[in-house]
Structure 1
């Protein structure tokens, strides 16, 4: 079972942008907010060349890696065809404006 950890407020994440949760000794996590306020969390590392996804452009339910323009599905972390790979998805929830991540 995952432990839910409060990490930020919804207002801390810009619309169509991201906020990074830095983790010492582990992959950083990018928390994305879409234009319609859906939230997603992925490892902040493109599966192609390790680009910082948090610095990419959010459009709909994808983020475009700033290094080589790979599109990553925010709901799954999977690269969109024809590209292949996965950034790793982290479960999250929002309650009363607080964002929680499922961290083990």
Structure 2
């Protein structure tokens, strides 16, 4: 991983992230779950389920732009982090950008989450 002056950290090439499979990367001691959707958009969140009992987000099942948590039967919108009704909560999403085939995670945001 390399750091850039605008507080984004490179976590690898887009092709290293499998479609619809969560992958955990570590930045500054924090686990970040990275998800590549079937349309090649990439989203990232702190790897902590917003359910009161917690658990990893990266093990969820991706379909469309939703993450399905098989442990608690929750549906989370990866574009916003919002847990879908009837459940409530919000995953802590982290900014992502793609440049020159590389995935960059907004490390500056990790200081506040």
Q: 1:1-104 alignment to 2 at 5 Å?
A: 3-23=7-27, 25-26=29-30, 28-48=31-51, 49-104=53-108
Counterpart contact for 2:49–2:91, Cα < 8 Å: yes
Structure 1 segments of 4+ aligned residues over 2 angstroms from their partners: 22-26
Give 3-state SS (helix, strand or coil) of 1:17's partner: coil
Counterpart contact for 2:27–2:107, Cα < 8 Å: no
Taking structure 2 as the reference length, the TM-score comes to 0.83
Unmatched runs of 5 consecutive residues or more in structure 2: 1-5, 109-113
The structure whose RCO (Cα within 8 Å, separation 6+) is larger is: 1
CA RMSD across the alignment = 1.7
Taking structure 1 as the reference length, the TM-score comes to 0.90
Instruction: From the CA coordinates, give the structure whose radius of gyration is larger.
Output: 2
